[in-house]
A and B are shown apart, each in its own frame.
Chain A
């Protein structure tokens, strides 16, 4: 169990370009989450997957954002036509589905991808 990993760790791009980030969750964690964090703020929920199904999307996730988890393992987050306002840390987290009679709401975060849009 090597923890949640994200790639790249840093991305600098020019406005209008497309970017794609990857997240590899902890193995056997069937829930995967994407959050966005800007300076001085806590992480804001963007979307989550249970296995390969995308079950919820925040209204923060504009049409320029798309996320996939095609085989229920790793996930990608793509931002099309980036804007300066997209500059942020993009965090991925994973957790197991709660078993009967237990709470396992704990989400484990990856190191994040810091996006800078020039």
Chain B
């Protein structure tokens, strides 16, 4: 059975801190690793990673995939209160995404 594990499950930081969120996966017929941000609504797409070692960046957020170690990280630099959310990691096979439980990030002013 496919499995995705995220750590930590929750994290509290101060504005300006840098955070690293972790995601390990065991997905049959793995194709891609996706990161989503979920506030009190539906998940919104952040990144899709398919190749090892190639960093994807969007502003203060970046992510990288290690297909040998079956691992991905999401980095957020200079955190802001608006970054407070649940960050979901999903392992994609040829037809579905298997999600972890998410990391609840709280950024305090």
Contacts and interface: CB of A to CB of B under 8 A. Distances in A.
A39 to B, nearest CB: 11
A43 B41 contact: no
Given A103-B31, A103-B48, A105-B32, A42 B99 contact: yes
Nearest to A33: B96
Contact of B90 (A42, A48, A108): A42
A40 B41 contact: no
A56 B95 contact: yes
B44 interface: yes
A42 B50 contact: no
B96 A48 contact: yes
A25 interface: no
Contacts of A105: 31-32, 34, 48, 50, 92, 97
Given A103-B50, A105-B32, A106-B45, A45 B96 contact: yes
Contacts of A107: 34, 45, 97
The DSSP consensus for interface residues of chain B is strand
B108 interface: no
A91 interface: yes
B88 A55 contact: no
Contact of B48 (A44, A48, A56, A106): A106
A111 B42 contact: yes
A99 B99 CA distance: 24
> Which interface residue of B36, B43, B92 has the most chain A CB atoms within 10 A?
B43
Contacts of B101: 40-42
The 5 residue pairs across chains A and B that have the minimum distance between CB atoms: A42-B99, A109-B42, A105-B92, A105-B32, A45-B96
Given A43-B43, A107-B34, 17 more contacts: A33-B96, A41-B101, A41-B102, A42-B102, A44-B99, A45-B97, A45-B98, A91-B42, A103-B50, A105-B32, A105-B50, A105-B97, A106-B48, A107-B45, A109-B42, A109-B44, A111-B42
Interface of A: 4, 33, 40-45, 48, 55-56, 91, 103, 105-112
